[in-house]
Structure 1
Amino acid sequence: METEALTLAQEVDFSMWALFARATILVKFVMLALVVASFWSWSIIVQKIITFRAARAEARRFDRTFWSGEPLDEFYEEIGPDPRGRSERVFAAGMTEWRRSHRDDGALIAGAQARIDRSMDVAIQKEAESLQSGLGVLATVGSVAPFVGLFGTVFGIMNAFVEIAEQQNTNLAVVAPGIAEALLATGLGLMAAIPAVIFYNKLSGDADRLIGGYEAFADEFSTILSRQLDG
């Protein structure tokens, strides 16, 4: 009898597609949702890796040019008031307000330093929002996906026991497929959650370092302009 049950169990298709096809509608929905969440997470991960790599390269180029000794007015004229680079946009925000703070007679309007700092802070905040966009999705997938997968597993196991009770048969050929289908949901939940958590931590750190670099530059640039104001 035991040999017969093992033979029947070996004949059952345990491929992922077969397990999905045999699952109930609710468990199928859970699995599909987890697969979609996994693809969504990976699309954000790849996009952010590319974006951060480009931002770091742009920041290095900007630093070399800014500290090369080129006059700030000439550098500003080269990049224009609305440049493409993130570091350049922070610089342009400060320089634009610097120029707007001069009256027609060449004197500075009162409160210029505060307005310049505020303009660069706003520019940094915009860049921070852009860099951090999508990271909330990774955090959500990383925290929720295991529980969604567990929900599918619990529901699948419940249905497996119901089927066992209806057939009044507890041999391996009856039990194994239902349990395997249920556990597939947990596996998909972990498959979606683990990369999301790992890359959320990494990308959050990368974003913080980039934003910190923009803030450090803004402080240095503000110091340069402050010396000119005092002079």
Structure 2
Amino acid sequence: MTLLDTILTVAVPASTTASVPTRLDPVQLFLDADIVVQAVMAGLILASVWVWAIIVSFSIRMARLDRVNRAFETRFWQADDVEPLVRGNEDLPSRRIAAAGIAEWQTSSRRGLKDKASLRERLSGAMDAAVTHESDSLSEKLNFLATVGSVAPFVGLFGTVWGIMNSFFQIGAQSNTSLAVVAPGISEALFATAIGLFAAIPAVIAYNRFSHRVNAFETRLYRFSDRFHASLSRELETL
């Protein structure tokens, strides 16, 4: 064997080995995928971005709301006259709950306090309705997290099934059962499921965590409502 033959024998396998990718490239997997799989991936990526936006914004909102609402309740119970606090423009759940109770009290007072027991029921109903409204307002955005958490894996699975079907179509079109023919397509298809799980897992965790925080906050609002209702009931007894 001549020196030239030896060089060619060594060089050809080396160049072939260098061209083989050594790790997965997510961007290349997306670019090489079928148009349907690409659409699925793009939708899941957008959903994942929106999920993380909700997670960050809701965390900041709940932390601030809990802090300022606690401060308002402290001022409320320490005040000799609560009406100036209630008439303020602070965007706080406890203020609106107290405002609902006072509004019902004033409306009934103008009509005459003929039935104190009925007034107590109306006060309780008005403030409970306000608590429910505040809770629903807080949990409104959480519906998207629940939707992504339950639907995203199946959307990713749809992309995977479509990609695998396309790979089998390529087998039939090329009459070649080699793994090299179907492996790239299967990898791209499975990548869609991976993105679906990437979007769904944080959404489910965040939904469960935030639901617990909203429920705990709602319980605090009910305690505030009950305490204020008891205070109004005591004042009613003196009339």
- TM bin, normalised by shorter chain, reads 0.7 to 0.9
Higher alpha-carbon Rg = 2
Aligned length, in residue pairs:
223
Structure 2 residue aligned with 1:230: 237
Choose the corresponding residue for 1:36, options 31, 36, 46.
Answer: 46
Distance change in 2, residues 1:46/1:214 (3 Å): same
Correspondent of 2:203 among 181, 193, 196: 196
2:169 alignment partner in structure 1:
162
Unpaired runs of 5+ residues, structure 2, are 1-12
Q: Kindly indicate whether residue 77 of structure 2 is the aligned counterpart of residue 67 of structure 1.
A: yes
Kept in 2: contact 1:160–1:178 (CA 8 A): yes
Q: Is 2:118 aligned against 1:108?
A: no
Question: C-alpha separation between the residues in 2 aligned to 1:112 and 1:9?
Answer: 82
Q: Is the Cα contact below 8 Å between 2:85 and 2:95 reproduced in 1?
A: no
Q: Which letter maps to 1:191? A: F
Contact 2:87-2:99 within 8 A present in 1 as well: yes
8 A Cα contact 1:82 1:92, kept in partner: no
1:78 aligned to 82, 85, 88, which one?
Answer: 85
Q: Is the 8 A contact 1:8 1:173 kept in 2?
A: no
CA RMSD across the alignment: 2.4
TM-score, normalisation: structure 2: 0.84
Q: Which runs of 5+ in 1 are unaligned?
A: none
Q: Distance in 2 between matches of 1:100 and 1:109?
A: 13
Asked if the contact 1:94–1:116 (Cα under 8 Å) also holds between the matched residues in 2, the reply is: yes
Mean Cα deviation higher: 201-210 or 157-166: 157-166
Kept in 2, the 8 Å contact 1:102–1:109? The answer is no
Matches within 5 A, 1:176-215: 176-215=183-222
Which residue number corresponds to residue 51 of structure 1?
Answer: 61
**Which whole-Å CA distance do the structure 1 matches of 2:89 and 2:126 have between them?**
14
Counterpart residue type for residue 169 of structure 2 = V
- Tell me if 1:130 matches 2:137: yes
How many percent identity over aligned positions? 43
- 1:197-226 per-position Cα deviation (integer Å, ceiling 9, x unaligned): 000000000000111111111111111111
